[in-house]
Amino acid sequence: MIKITNLEKFYRTEEVETVALNKLNLEINTGEFVAIMGPSGCGKSTLLNILGLLDDPDGGSYLFNGTEVAHFNERKRADLRKHNIGFVFQSFNLIDELTVFENVELPLIYTGVSTAERKTRVEEVLTKMQIMHRRNHYPQQLSGGQQQRVAIARAVVNKPKLILADEPTGNLDSSNGNEVMELLTDLNEQGTTIIMVTHSEHDARYSHRIVRLLDGHTVMENIMM
Amino acid sequence: MFKNYLKIAWRNLLNSKGFSFINIAGLAIGMTAAMLIGIWIQHELSFDRFHKQIKDLYIVYNKSIFDGELHCWPSTPPALGPVLKQEYPDIKYSARITYVDKHLFDYNGKKLEAEGFDAEENFLKMFTFPLIAGNMATALSSPYKIVITEDFAKKMFGTTENVVGKIIKFDNQYNLTISGVLQKLPSNTRFQTDYITPWLFYRVQYNGDDQNWGNNSYRTYVQLNSGANLKKVNAKIINTTIKHSNGNEDNQIFLHPFGDYYLYNTFKNGVPSGGRADVVKLFTFIAGFILLIACINFMNLSTARSEKRAKEVGIRKSIGALKLSLVGQFLIESVIVSFIAGVIALILTRITLPYFNELVSLDLSLPLLKPSFILAWLVFVLATGLLAGCYPALYLSSFKPVQVLKGTFVSVNAVVTPRKLLVITQFTFAVVMIVSTIVIRKQIQYAQDRDSGYNKNNLIYTYFNGEIHKNQNLIKQDLINSGVAEAVSITSGSFVSSSANSWGLNWVGKPEGAKIVFDQMATQGDFAKVLNVKVVKGRDIDPQLYPTDSTACLLNESAAKIINAKNPIGQIIDKDFIKWHVVGVIKDFIWGSPYDPIQPMLVMGPAQKWSNVVNIRLKANQPLSAAMPKIEAIFKKYNPAFPFTPLFVDKDYEVKFSEQQRTAKLAGTFALLTIIISCLGLFGLAAYMAASRTKEIGVRKVLGASVLNITALLSKDFLKLVIAAIIIASPIAWYAMQNWLQKYTYRIEIEWWIFAISGIGAIMIALVTVCFQSVKAAIANPVKSLRSE
Ligand SMILES: Nc1ncnc2c1ncn2[C@@H]1O[C@H](COP(=O)(O)OP(=O)(O)OP(=O)(O)O)[C@@H](O)[C@H]1O
Ligand SMILES: [Mg+2]
């Protein structure tokens, strides 16, 4: 599904140039559950942002389902994103002014799904995430675990082929964290490809494969199964 | 999607009530000002443009060269109109009218004074003033007819029904038959009148001389055949007056479109050069600027609070929203805000319109139910929303999700460059307005303090009507004998408004061919005595003491200088076929504009029979309440049919300043509005800044900073902006006011302290606004703000 070759990303500030990704090569197949680990600042988030087309690389190639997308323009990227990719963030990133239901509904609005169908699909996924009873609450009224479940619901409501999760359990205690990991595992078993950045060896064990980054370069891959 | 936007917008408004209040209040005030000015501009632009044939209507102008300059003015000789119509087939109709005059009407003992003019028959065919009763074609066709307005009919008869055919008495002398009732005149026409009498009636009153080419006291209007070419017509008619007067007159003529007459009423060297149009432009500019300043508040506050929305932008983008759809979303939000503000502005406009009407001396109304008004309002709301929203929309929608979704995004400072520029713009305008207000007020004060040259107090006057002319000597005698009056003088015009001038004076030694314009008045004697003006040389005109004074004249000092600086007394001045001998020189006094230099003046004695005004110098030290009934009784005795209307010179002198006073009031109002709106914005920005720096303030306080230190730290940034605004505003204000003052020959110098005062004022106001927030932040308990981390 994903193939990147010699991917590069630099951050230039006035004094220094940081190499965030240094000729990185990585291949991820459909249906995989991959964990990305590494010390702080090694480029994990940078990689995830590029994979999610939120950011563009400075060099190298990025094939998504066989299409070169490294230099897609804004419109094409947005289009690819809304149909194929779901995001889960460490800090949940729900819109405070929208209720649980409305937050989850948002991606469907942007893909132009009809009101009636939106309702069924949002309710379906909220039920699956066991958060249906909170559908009319605002994010501030929910616990961290609940918020993250809403965020996952929003990420999957469009049935994306790929979910990118950046430290999804980073702000959660262990029991809530485990619940989130179970959810991701379920989704993966139903066929969604998942790429997850994590600092936790425990969480990484849920994945099929661990990619370890060091200074923007792969150093090692552990196959879990 | 749209519903989703509305939801978010509405919840955002409710969640931050303080900011919403500032945004909406600022916009509403700005929009109110813009709407008031808009209604006024609409009035000005539509002035006399509603006539159906307006495209073909023209007013005839004279032009001639005086003192080396080409002058144009719209009063013409009476013989001109019919000749134009006769000789030039391009001209379909012509109509002469007289100046508006006041007369007494009497219907079965019910008396009313009313103002009106005489007009030729075609007047009603050319201009769109529909009759609600009567036959337009014949309404002005014979001398003893009169067309009255709806309002006049109601006042006189209490109704407009069955009024046609009734006979009313004019000046206690003529019986006129009402031949038509005019529909209520709109306020945007220059023909404000209570009635119109036929031109033929004018001929009856003044013995039929309407064939001369020298008396430029009439307006001539023409209607061209549609399709006629103005340039060609003007080329043909240019020398009509010169030709028909056999060269006795030298005024050329031309047609000026009547639709432009109101707005473009000033000519410079023969070319229309604005006039009221300039005022309209200035006001449009000011309205636009006040609105812009209100929009700037919206821009600043929306972008200052951007991190609140940044996360939302990041999320929407990561889900697949395009920048464009986000721009749309934010624009919809600003349009919603502007809609709410627009509704409030409608209410405010409704409430403030009477005050505004007073300010502009008009009777404007809010046509709430007129579709064109509603449409204009909607467009206005939309435009305001887009203007206010475009910058925030572009700014907010360009956040990159990668930056804002890390959860650490904080905009570091409330005062970043674009916002700085916007605040500077606001205060620049505010300072310009403050300086302007001060300069205008100083200028008025300056002219008011100017010595008028005579004593304005205890001087009253009244215009001739009815029997006054016949009994003028008896009236004068009685007034003196009764002990109320110190002196009485009959003159050709009032002392407060310059009403006549002429270049037809000749004297020995006058440069050959020079056209030197003199102000002219005529008196039956006691001119200087009544006026209390100093006689510098010689004596006053006094026909009782000196029988030869019939042809005596007075000069003012300026005139004496022109004629013969050394010894003007005894000089002969040739004017209107009479040889006037100079008996005295009086001190210059202000007759015309107090802003202009005093013109040379000739005051002619009793041989010039222009008597129109009785001027009465009251004895000082007697209460007015005791004097007035005595005076009235004397007038009643000799002129019983007419009401006595006394006028006061000191009060009427003030009218000379009314236009400038209005300008000052308007400038002051706009300055105040600008300051209020700008300060609202500053207040919001300061609040935001204080909030976003609570942690920093806490740390500084823990490290030992005092409340004063912190207040200064927080206020400093804003003060810099205001100071920058003062620096930018000063030259702009100087230039603008220097320009405005050019109109006045007698004017002030713009002094540096005006800028100093305006600057200090602006700084003080800004400081108070900002300090409120800064002090609040500075005295907050640091432990609290740090724990919130
Ligand atoms: N916007 C930026 N400007 C400059 N440098 C940046 C920027 N974003 C990231 N970097 C740098 O790029 C490198 C990689 O950053 P990245 O956020 O990908 O690390 P990470 O592996 O996700 O770290 P962490 O585990 O702490 O989240 C770091 O050295 C970081 O300092
Ligand atoms: Mg990271």
User: What pLDDT score does B408 carry?
Assistant: 54
Task: Count other C-beta atoms under 10 Å from residue B784's C-beta.
Answer: 10
User: Best interface-test mutation with B: which of A13, A48, A95, A163 has the largest number of B CBs within 10 A?
Assistant: A95
Structure tokens at B707: 């409340």
What's the average model confidence in pLDDT over B673-697? 86
Q: Is A154 in the pocket of ligand 1 (CB under 6 A)?
A: no
What's the average model confidence in pLDDT over B611-624? 92
User: What pLDDT score does B52 carry?
Assistant: 94
Domain with residue A183: its CATH number is 3.40.50.300
Q: Lowest-confidence range among B276-280, B338-342, B635-639? A: B276-280
Query: Which residue among B11, B320, B402 sits closest to A55, beta carbon to beta carbon?
Result: B402
Instruction: Please check whether residue A17 touches B, CB under 8 A.
Output: no
Is B748 strand, coil or helix? coil
User: What pLDDT score does B413 carry?
Assistant: 53
Q: Please give the mean pLDDT across all residues of chain A.
A: 90
d(CA B480, CA B630): 11
Q: Chain A contacts of B325, Cβ < 8 Å? A: 110
Q: Is A40 in the pocket of ligand 1 (CB under 6 A)?
A: yes
One-letter amino acid of B705 = A
Q: Is A192 in the pocket of ligand 1 (CB under 6 A)?
A: no
Q: Are A110 and B317 a contacting pair at CB < 8 A?
A: no
Instruction: Please check whether residue A139 touches B, CB under 8 A.
Output: no
Q: Is A13 in the pocket of ligand 1 (CB under 6 A)?
A: yes
Instruction: Please check whether residue A58 touches B, CB under 8 A.
Output: no
Is B459 strand, coil or helix? strand
Q: Is A45 in the pocket of ligand 1 (CB under 6 A)?
A: yes
Is B547 strand, coil or helix? helix
pLDDT > 80? residue B320: yes
d(CA A18, CA B252): 84
Instruction: Please check whether residue A107 touches B, CB under 8 A.
Output: yes
Structure tokens at B295: 């929009």
User: What pLDDT score does B517 carry?
Assistant: 87
Q: Are B321 and A54 a contacting pair at CB < 8 A?
A: no
Q: Chain A contacts of B311, Cβ < 8 Å? A: 93, 95
User: What pLDDT score does B248 carry?
Assistant: 84
Instruction: Please check whether residue A109 touches B, CB under 8 A.
Output: yes
- Residue (of B556, B568, B553, B555) closest to B598 by Cα position: B556
Backbone φ and ψ for B391, nearest 5 degrees, come out as -65, -50
Ligand 1 pocket mutation, candidates A24, A44, A167, A196, criterion most atoms within 8 A of CB: A44
Cβ contacts below 8 Å, chain A against chain B, sum to: 72
Task: Count other C-beta atoms under 10 Å from residue B402's C-beta.
Answer: 18
Q: How many domains does chain A have?
A: 1
Is B444 strand, coil or helix? helix
pLDDT > 80? residue B328: yes
Where does the pLDDT of residue B788 fall: very low under 50, low under 70, confident under 90, or very high at 90 and above? Answer: very low
B125-144 burial: b if 16+ Cβ within 10 Å, else e:
bbbbbebebbebeebbeebb
Instruction: Please check whether residue A224 touches B, CB under 8 A.
Output: no
What's the average model confidence in pLDDT over B670-677? 91
Q: Are B319 and A83 a contacting pair at CB < 8 A?
A: no
CA dihedral angle for residue B680, residue B684, residue B687, residue B690, rounded to 10 degrees: -120
User: What pLDDT score does A138 carry?
Assistant: 92
Considering only alpha carbons, which residue of chain A is nearest residue B12? A97
- Residue (of B231, B259, B277) closest to B268 by Cα position: B277
- What Å distances lie between residue B399 and A132, B308, B310, B411, B562, CA to CA? 32, 12, 7, 12, 77
Q: Are A55 and B405 a contacting pair at CB < 8 A?
A: no
Give the predicted TM-score (pTM) of the model: 0.83
d(CA B776, CA A145): 37
The pocket of ion ligand 2, defined by CB under 5 A, consists of A 45
SS in 3 state form for chain A? CEEEEEEEEEEECCCCEEEEEEEEEEEECCCCEEEEECCCCCCHHHHHHHHCCCCCCCEEEEEECCEECCCCCHHHHHHHHHHHEEEECCCCCCCCCCCHHHHHHHHHHHCCCCHHHHHHHHHHHHHHCCCHHHCCCCHHHCCHHHHHHHHHHHHHCCCCCEEEEECCCCCCCHHHHHHHHHHHHHHHHCCCEEEEECCCHHHHCCCCEEEEEECCEEEEEEECC
Q: Chain B contacts of A55, Cβ < 8 Å? A: 400, 402
Do residues B489 and B527 make contact, with C-beta atoms less than 8 angstroms apart?
yes
Where does the pLDDT of residue B778 fall: very low under 50, low under 70, confident under 90, or very high at 90 and above? Answer: confident
Q: Residues with Cβ < 8 Å from A87, sequence gap 6 or more?
A: A52, A93, A155, A163, A164, A165, A166, B318, B319
pLDDT, tens digit, 9 for 90 and up, residues B235-258: 999 999 999 988 888 899 999 999
Residue nearest to atom 31 of ligand 1 (CA): A41
Q: Is A18 in the pocket of ligand 1 (CB under 6 A)?
A: yes
Instruction: Please check whether residue A94 touches B, CB under 8 A.
Output: yes
pLDDT > 70? residue B461: yes
Instruction: For residue B327, report the distance from its CA to the centre of ligand 2, in Å.
Output: 29
User: What pLDDT score does B606 carry?
Assistant: 94
SS in 3 state form for A99-117? CHHHHHHHHHHHCCCCHHH
pLDDT above 70 covers what percent of chain A? Answer: 99
Span between the terminal Cα atoms of chain B, in Å = 36
User: What pLDDT score does A225 carry?
Assistant: 55
pLDDT, tens digit, 9 for 90 and up, residues B490-528: 999 999 988 888 888 889 888 887 788 899 999 999 999
pLDDT > 50? residue A59: yes
CA distance A167 to chain B (A): 11
Where does the pLDDT of residue B348 fall: very low under 50, low under 70, confident under 90, or very high at 90 and above? Answer: very high
User: What pLDDT score does B701 carry?
Assistant: 77
- Helix H or strand E encompassing B7: helix B2-15
What ipTM does the predicted assembly reach? 0.85
What's the average model confidence in pLDDT over B95-109? 92
Q: Chain B contacts of A75, Cβ < 8 Å? A: 322
CA distance B327 to chain A (A): 14
Chain-centre distance of CA B232, in angstroms? 35
Q: Are B319 and A154 a contacting pair at CB < 8 A?
A: yes
Backbone φ and ψ for B725, nearest 5 degrees, come out as -60, -40
Q: Lowest-confidence range among B263-277, B541-555, B583-597, B630-644? A: B263-277
B456-476 burial: b if 16+ Cβ within 10 Å, else e:
bebbbbbebbbbbeebbeebb
Q: For residue B350, what are the β-bridge partners?
A: none
Backbone φ and ψ for B113, nearest 5 degrees, come out as -95, 140
Instruction: For residue A219, report the distance from its CA to the centre of ligand 2, in Å.
Output: 18
d(CA A58, CA A224): 32
Q: Please give the mean pLDDT across all residues of chain B.
A: 90
Ligand 1 pocket mutation, candidates A46, A51, A195, criterion most atoms within 8 A of CB: A46
Q: Is A41 in the pocket of ligand 1 (CB under 6 A)?
A: yes
Where does the pLDDT of residue B789 fall: very low under 50, low under 70, confident under 90, or very high at 90 and above? Answer: very low
- Index of the ligand 1 atom closest to the CA of residue B403: 1
Q: Are B318 and A54 a contacting pair at CB < 8 A?
A: yes
pLDDT, tens digit, 9 for 90 and up, residues B436-457: 999 999 999 999 999 999 999 9
pLDDT, tens digit, 9 for 90 and up, residues B50-63: 999 999 999 999 99
pLDDT above 70 covers what percent of chain B? Answer: 97
d(CA B591, CA B499): 9
Task: Count other C-beta atoms under 10 Å from residue B307's C-beta.
Answer: 14
- Helix H or strand E encompassing B372: helix B371-397
Query: Which residue among B8, B325, B401 sits closest to A54, beta carbon to beta carbon?
Result: B401
Q: Are B314 and A95 a contacting pair at CB < 8 A?
A: no
User: What pLDDT score does B694 carry?
Assistant: 78
d(CA A210, CA A206): 10
Instruction: For residue B74, report the distance from its CA to the centre of ligand 1, in Å.
Output: 80
- Helix H or strand E encompassing B556: strand B552-556
Where does the pLDDT of residue B565 fall: very low under 50, low under 70, confident under 90, or very high at 90 and above? Answer: low
Ligand nearest to the CA of A89: 2
> pLDDT: is B412 or A202 the higher one?
A202
d(CA B491, CA B613): 5
What's the average model confidence in pLDDT over B252-278? 87
Chain-centre distance of CA A7, in angstroms? 19
Q: Are B314 and A55 a contacting pair at CB < 8 A?
A: no
Q: Is A110 in the pocket of ligand 1 (CB under 6 A)?
A: no
pLDDT > 60? residue B414: no
The DSSP 8-state label assigned to residue B272 in this structure reads E
Q: Lowest-confidence range among A79-83, B306-310, B481-485? A: B306-310
Where does the pLDDT of residue B273 fall: very low under 50, low under 70, confident under 90, or very high at 90 and above? Answer: confident
Instruction: Answer positive or negative: Cα dihedral of A183, A184, A186, A190.
Output: positive
Q: Are B319 and A106 a contacting pair at CB < 8 A?
A: yes
What's the average model confidence in pLDDT over B754-759? 93
Structure tokens at A179: 């619940």
d(CA B213, CA B77): 5
Q: Are B407 and A91 a contacting pair at CB < 8 A?
A: yes
Range of the domain at A133: 2-223
